[in-house]
């Protein structure tokens, strides 16, 4: 009897220690399918609804804008409701967006369902880094790597399987709406998170970083780091279909990019975990993206898979490392969470603007090469900024 009790107690303890990271992973999985499921089906959506490429770019731009605006309001909104209430509300909004997409009949409904999903994504995404910092204060890089990897995996899974689901049900709406399953699962997992985790929750801090120069630098860097991802999910499937790829194959191309994003998101933080200076890995992450975008310009057809893989690995590493660097600047979980909310807020507004601007460049030049050139220029700028992220300067650059 004692042995059985001991085994049961050990299993319960193991589940309690593992459950928080599973909850974080489940939250992360909900944050990209709303964006990435539309790209591989864009031709079918445009044929059915008659929307143009500029309007279709709103399917990426609107959620990105939401991801930017909500975190900036968090110092004021965060005081009105608890962290848990916000996260539950965000997950419900993402699920309702997916439910709405199952019955779409017009382009207007598609845009508004995207906006609803974007609001939910913005809420959950703003809260998640603070949760990571609080639950795993001694393992922030590794945990942020896991969070980033599952965030990207959710996007890749949706891009890869949405065309198959749409084909199976004979409806592109099904390919978009099926992903409401993910926020429903995440909602259940969040609700049943361990009691000891629930008891350590802290309220949001009413502080903003608008007057802090380092916070702005981190935010601009984060925004440019994600601009490549926004452009890839918005334009890569269409670009590939222009090269003769099918809807299914173009979706799988996003899936391949995601596999390497996950590798980068997990690998870079793990490799940099032993030292606070993340700059060597940031240089590497930006450098391989430069190589990938140069390849898209010079040899797009013969080595498209290779360039996509390089870009994906760099994007994944950049995303997790940039958030980790922001968290590194402050030791207090609430302050660090507020800083990352600011960084994501300004950053995603920048990210949202880039694809919309890229469409204008595409229409002016008549091809996608001009977009890849634009992204190369932003990456060169990021290389110049990376040198400034010296850990010895963190305390001097922050006023909190």
Q: For position 185, what pLDDT does the model report? A: 96
pLDDT at 194: 66
**What CA–CA distance (Å, rounded) separates 126 from 54?**
28
**Which has more pLDDT, 200 or 91?**
91
Which ranges of the chain does DSSP label H, i.e. alpha helix? 2-29, 33-36, 42-49, 53-56, 58-77, 83-102, 107-135, 140-169, 172-177, 181-191, 195-199, 213-242, 247-271, 279-298, 304-328, 333-365, 369-386, 394-397
E-assigned strands of the chain? none
Count Cα neighbours of 107 within 13 Å in the Cβ-side half-sphere: 17
Rounded Cα distance, 277 and 249, in Å:
39
**If we measure between CA atoms, which residue out of 102, 94, 101 comes closest to residue 31?**
94
Task: Decide: helix, strand or coil at residue 19.
Answer: helix
**pLDDT tens-place string over residues 211-264:** 889 999 999 999 999 888 888 877 888 788 777 777 677 777 878 888 898 888
Integer Cα distance of 111 and 134 in angstroms: 35
Residue 384: band (very low, low, confident or very high) from pLDDT cuts 50, 70, 90: very high
Upper half-sphere CA count for residue 159 (Cβ side, 13 Å): 30
Query: Could you tell me which of 318, 316, 329, 315 has the C-alpha nearest to residue 276?
Result: 329
pLDDT of residue 195 exceeding 70, the answer is no
pLDDT over 70 (residue 193): yes
* Reported confidence tier of residue 96, pLDDT bands at 50, 70, 90: very high
pLDDT, tens digit, 9 for 90 and up, residues 9-58: 444 454 566 788 899 999 999 999 998 888 788 878 888 887 777 777 78
How far apart CA 374 and CA 163 sit, in angstroms, is 29
Give residue-wise pLDDT tens across range 315-326: 989 988 998 888
Determine whether 74 is exposed, middle or buried from the number of CB atoms within 10 Å of its CB (0-12, 13-18, 19+): buried
DSSP readout, 178-212? GGGHHHHHHHHHHHT--HHHHHT--PPP----TT-
Tell me the pLDDT of the chain averaged across its residues.
Answer: 83
């Amino acid at each position: 009897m004692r042995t059985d009790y001991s085994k049961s107690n050990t299993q319960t303890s193991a589940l309690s220690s593992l459950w928080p990271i599973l909850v974080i992973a489940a939250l992360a999985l909900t944050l990209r399918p709303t964006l990435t499921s539309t790209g591989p089906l864009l031709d079918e959506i445009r044929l059915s609804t008659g929307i143009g490429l500029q309007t279709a770019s709103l399917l990426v731009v609107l959620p990105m804008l939401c991801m930017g605006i909500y975190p900036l309001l968090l110092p004021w909104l965060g005081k009105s409701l608890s962290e848990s209430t916000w996260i539950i509300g965000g997950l419900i909004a993402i699920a309702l967006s997916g439910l709405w997409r199952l019955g779409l009949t017009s382009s207007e409904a598609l845009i508004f369902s995207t906006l609803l999903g974007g609001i939910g994504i913005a809420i959950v995404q703003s809260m998640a880094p603070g949760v990571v910092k609080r639950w795993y204060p001694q393992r922030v890089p590794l945990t942020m790597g896991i969070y980033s990897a599952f965030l990207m995996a959710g996007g890749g899974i949706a891009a890869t399987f949405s065309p198959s689901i749409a084909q199976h049900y004979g409806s592109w709406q099904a390919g978009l709406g099926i992903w409401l399953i993910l926020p429903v699962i995440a909602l259940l997992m969040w609700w049943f998170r361990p009691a000891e985790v629930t008891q350590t929750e802290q309220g949001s801090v009413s502080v903003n970083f608008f007057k802090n120069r380092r916070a702005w630098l981190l935010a601009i860097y984060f925004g440019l780091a994600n601009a490549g991802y926004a452009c890839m999910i918005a334009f890569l499937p269409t670009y590939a279909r222009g090269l003769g790829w099918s809807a299914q194959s173009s979706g799988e191309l996003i899936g391949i990019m995601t596999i390497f994003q996950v590798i980068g998101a997990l690998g870079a933080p793990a490799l940099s975990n032993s030292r606070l200076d993340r700059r060597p890995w940031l240089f590497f992450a930006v450098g391989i993206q430069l190589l990938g975008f140069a390849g898209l310009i010079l040899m797009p057809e013969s080595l498209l898979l290779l360039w996509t893989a390089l870009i994906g690995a760099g994007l994944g590493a950049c995303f997790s490392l940039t958030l980790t660097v922001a968290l590194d600047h402050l030791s207090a979980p609430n302050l660090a969470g507020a800083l990352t909310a600011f960084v994501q807020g300004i950053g995603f507004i920048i990210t949202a603007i880039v694809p919309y601007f890229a469409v204008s460049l595409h229409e002016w030049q008549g091809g996608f090469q001009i977009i890849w050139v634009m992204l190369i220029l932003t990456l060169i700028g990021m290389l110049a900024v990376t040198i400034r992220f010296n850990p010895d300067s963190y305390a001097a650059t922050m006023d909190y």
